[in-house]
Amino acid sequence: MRTNVLSRLLAAHGWTDGQLAARTALDRAHVNQLKNGRALPTVATALVIAEALGVTVDAVFPPGSVVRRRRMR
């Protein structure tokens, strides 16, 4: 199993899933699911994560990655 970009970025910052969750107001379990490829981020979530890590969205979720759009009600 290959390590994904989010895992590498967290390791580079010395952060745990919980620390990223605290910095982004996301649930730790959701961060873990994103990190392990079991969930797809919304555009808003991708932006929040990238901002917290100080990188661009495409640095976290490279071209070809799927970012789902939340349906507006």
Q: What is the pLDDT of residues 43-60, one digit of tens each?
A: 999 999 999 999 999 999
Q: Are 59 and 15 in contact (CB under 8 A)?
A: no
Domains of the chain, first to last: 5-60 (1.10.260.40)
Q: How far is CA 52 from CA 31, 57, 70, 71, in A?
A: 13, 11, 21, 24
Q: What pTM was estimated for this model as a whole?
A: 0.83
At residue 27 the predicted structure's pLDDT band, cuts being 50, 70 and 90, is: very high
From CA 49, how far away is CA 14, in angstroms rounded? Answer: 15
